[in-house]
Amino acid sequence: MPQMDNVKFGLETTVLPNKSSEFFSNIEKNGFDSIWVNDHFLPWSDRDAERFPYTNFMQWVYLPLILNYTSKVKVGTAVTCPLFRYHPAIVAQYFAQLDWTFPGRVILGVGTGEMINENPFGLWPNLKERRERLAEAVKLIRMLWENKDYFTFEGKYYQLKNAKLYVRPKEKIPIIISAGGPKAAKLAGEIGDGIMVFAGSPAEVEDRILKPYREGVKKAGKKFEETERAIYIFGGVVDPNILTKILKGLKRTVIWALEEAHKKADPREIDQLVEAAPESIVLEKAVFVTSTDELIGRLEKYVNIGINHFIFADFTSIIARKPDEISDIWSKKIIPYFKGK
């Protein structure tokens, strides 16, 4: 039986204009271990971004602010692509300085990228090449963090001449690899300090993601139990009387989970996918439940297959029209349930 007391809880949030320092400190006070922000160039919805442009900010700007607003919680990206928009050396430099300023509180979540974010820069190779680039980028990032002397890097995709970071991380920055399929999961096990997966059925996550991840971990000579196994979940606890009423409005918020959306470079085309998608996609791709106990039961199933870190995009307070609050279901029931085991 997995150890429940090792389970961590993170909250994924958009930095809204009205979010104060108190909002982020309250996340910490409510018992969360981590705060996560996304990182986009173009949005998943043109319609939403026109109405709420701040949901599509370059979130790197807010990482030091959130770290400054809090004192213990760790802060990470979900996720940054270190392949095209950002050269891996720039990623290494930025996050090294973050950890130098806020030691031991920085997490670098990386992945192979999304078409809407990287294609505008003129390069979007196939997934095999993007995985190769990711492995090389992670290697280069770690070299910059660890080498105290100048070095030259001649990779297949990236090159550096006489490079050295004078400001290096004070503590180890975990590199968490986002994985949506078996090959990416195996790579995450080989090169990462952990993996980040998207919510699916526990059986699917275990067979399609965690099994190849274990293989990669073993190949790299690491121990599965000593790695981070995070799952990104979008959802919340909703009054059963209004659940069916809000499904249509929530379709745009989960459209990124559709494979077809990842083949689009134009957010306007993704909006067209939303219109054609059935409302059932919300319940298929997210975890909306009608009670806290039901949510605990869903999370427990993930723990039983090896997940040890939940990154939750919680809509409980938003749907209750209290967007500036952290629902007390976390501090009163969910987190104590797992931490007390």
Q: What is the dihedral of CA 98, 38, 319, 291, to 10 degrees?
A: -80
- Active-site option among 12, 28, 50, 114: 114
- Helix/strand/coil for 154: strand
Taking a C-beta distance cutoff of 8 angstroms, is the pair 8, 312 a contact? no
129 is catalytic: no
Based on C-alpha coordinates, what's the Rg of the chain?
19
Give the integer Cα–Cα distance in Å for 45 and 303.
Answer: 32
Looking at the chain, the number of H-run helices and the number of E-run strands are 16, 11
Torsion over CA: 7, 80, 112, 43 (sign):
positive
- Terminal Cα distance for the chain, rounded: 11
- Active-site option among 40, 118, 206, 309: 40
Q: Tally the residues of the chain.
A: 341
Q: One-letter amino acid identity for 82?
A: P
CA atoms within 13 A on the CB side of 228: 28
Give the integer Cα–Cα distance in Å for 171 and 103.
Answer: 6
Give the integer Cα–Cα distance in Å for 32 and 280.
Answer: 30
Phi-psi region of 321 (alpha: psi -120 to 50; beta: other; left: phi over 0): left
The residue ranges of DSSP E strands in 166-314, in sequence order, are 175-178, 194-198, 228-237, 287-289, 309-314
118 is catalytic: no
- The Cβ of residue 263 has, within 10 Å, a number of other Cβ atoms equal to 11
Position of tokens 């085309």?
269
Using DSSP bridges, classify how beta strands 151-154 and 194-198 pair: parallel, antiparallel or unpaired.
Answer: unpaired
Which residues form the catalytic set?
A: 40, 114
